[in-house]
């Protein structure tokens, strides 16, 4: 039987007590570690993070420009670097492609915004459109517009879109050099290296890893974090599969830091003071991996 195994009994006593009647998994004799400080970057290959989003305003006339500026003033993250009314200036600005955000009316002087967007060969900026109707909403969706609003503008919804863009910019501005190397150097550690830095990462220091837009952030037990430009699969290949478990596709959790498994209306993991909501399949996988880990 399972519980006749002394190693598993030890796991049962010290790691996980399961209350079958309430479908609740709770924890442990050891006092859980809780994360109390905001993560900080420990790799110094990152550029300083910007304080604002470089924004260009475009419209068919100065009345439209002034209205957009009145909305921009409500958003402290935005820094207006240019205003365009002339169609030629708008096209040249889009070709320059050297800003973060374009806020514009749909209609310009002699065309629409969608007519001039192809001027940017590889668009590096996001777009917010403030329009008088929903006529161009589908076209905006196909163009990958960040936010489309009809008048009067929903400032709260626009603010959420701006915050999403700010987070994306901050992650990209950490921008590690493109020659990043990930290399497994032992059974319990791996190397992250670039042209000007290298860091040896021990498995037992990692609480969890999360991927976002092609960047992975590693969260450590010393309240620090590290962001690198790679996929979660790249890092997963360097990890001990018996110690780590991938959940929700975008997260890898260190089993050693799991303090609580919750099975009630939904499924959750508490690890290192962080909470992760997972599905039933991932819950069972984590539970089985814990069994195997502590049965060894």
Same domain (yes/no): 187, 78? no
pLDDT of residue 251: 92
Final residue in a domain of this structure, among 141, 156, 174: 174
pLDDT of residue 178: 45
Same domain (yes/no): 166, 203? no
Final residue in a domain of this structure, among 124, 139, 174: 174
Same domain (yes/no): 63, 74? yes
Instruction: Evaluate the CA torsion angle 155, 157, 160, 166 in order and state its sign.
Output: negative
* pLDDT band at residue 18 under the 50/70/90 scheme: very low
Same domain (yes/no): 65, 153? yes
pLDDT tens per residue, range 171-183: 555 544 445 678 8
Q: What is the CATH number of the domain that holds 265?
A: 2.40.50.1020
The mean per-residue pLDDT over the stretch 278-290 comes to 90
Same domain (yes/no): 123, 216? no
| Residue of higher predicted confidence among 160 and 173 | 160
pLDDT tens per residue, range 22-31: 333 433 333 3
pLDDT of residue 12: 42
Same domain (yes/no): 13, 160? no
DSSP assigned state of 48: P
pLDDT tens per residue, range 34-51: 333 333 233 323 333 445
Question: Across 30-77, where does the E strand assignment appear?
Answer: 53-58
Same domain (yes/no): 58, 167? yes
Same domain (yes/no): 167, 116? yes
Please determine, for residue 289, whether its predicted confidence score (pLDDT) is greater than 50: yes
pLDDT of residue 130: 86
- pTM greater than 0.75 (yes/no): no
Strands 53-58 and 101-104: parallel
Domain that holds residue 80: 53-174
Final residue in a domain of this structure, among 174, 205, 238: 174
Same domain (yes/no): 35, 69? no
Same domain (yes/no): 167, 181? no
Same domain (yes/no): 59, 93? yes
Domains identified in the chain, total number = 2
Rounded CA-CA distance 250/208 in Å is 11
Same domain (yes/no): 72, 213? no
Instruction: Evaluate the CA torsion angle 257, 260, 263, 267 in order and state its sign.
Output: negative
Q: What is the CATH number of the domain that holds 169?
A: 3.40.50.2300
Please determine, for residue 292, whether its predicted confidence score (pLDDT) is greater than 60: yes
* pLDDT band at residue 212 under the 50/70/90 scheme: confident
């Amino acid at each position: 039987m399972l519980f006749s195994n002394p190693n598993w009994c030890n796991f049962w006593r010290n790691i996980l007590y399961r209350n079958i009647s309430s479908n609740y998994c709770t924890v442990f004799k050891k006092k859980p570690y809780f994360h109390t400080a905001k993560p900080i970057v420990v790799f110094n290959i990152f550029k300083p993070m910007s304080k604002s989003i470089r924004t260009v305003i475009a419209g068919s006339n100065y009345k439209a420009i002034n209205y957009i500026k009145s909305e921009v003033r409500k958003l402290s993250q935005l820094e207006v670097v240019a205003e365009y009314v002339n169609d030629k200036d708008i096209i040249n600005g889009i070709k320059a492609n050297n800003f973060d955000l374009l806020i514009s009316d749909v209609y310009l002087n002699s065309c629409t915004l969608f007519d001039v967007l192809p001027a940017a060969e590889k668009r590096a900026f996001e777009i917010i459109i403030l329009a008088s109707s929903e006529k161009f909403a589908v076209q905006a969706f196909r163009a990958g517009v960040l936010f489309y609003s009809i008048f009067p503008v929903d400032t709260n919804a626009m603010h959420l879109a701006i915050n999403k863009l700010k987070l994306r910019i901050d992650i990209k501005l950490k921008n590690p050099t493109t020659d990043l190397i990930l290399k497994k150097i032992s059974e319990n550690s791996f190397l992250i290296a670039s042209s000007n830095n290298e860091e040896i990462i021990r498995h037992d220091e990692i609480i969890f890893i999360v991927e976002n837009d092609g960047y992975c952030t590693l969260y450590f037990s010393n309240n620090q974090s590290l962001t690198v430009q790679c996929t979660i699969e790249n890092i997963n290949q360097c990890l001990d599969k018996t110690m780590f478990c991938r959940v929700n596709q975008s997260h890898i959790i260190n089993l050693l830091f799991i303090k609580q498994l919750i099975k009630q209306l939904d499924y959750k993991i508490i690890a290192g003071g962080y909470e992760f909501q997972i599905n039933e399949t991932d819950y069972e996988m984590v539970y089985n991996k814990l069994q195997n880990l502590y049965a060894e």
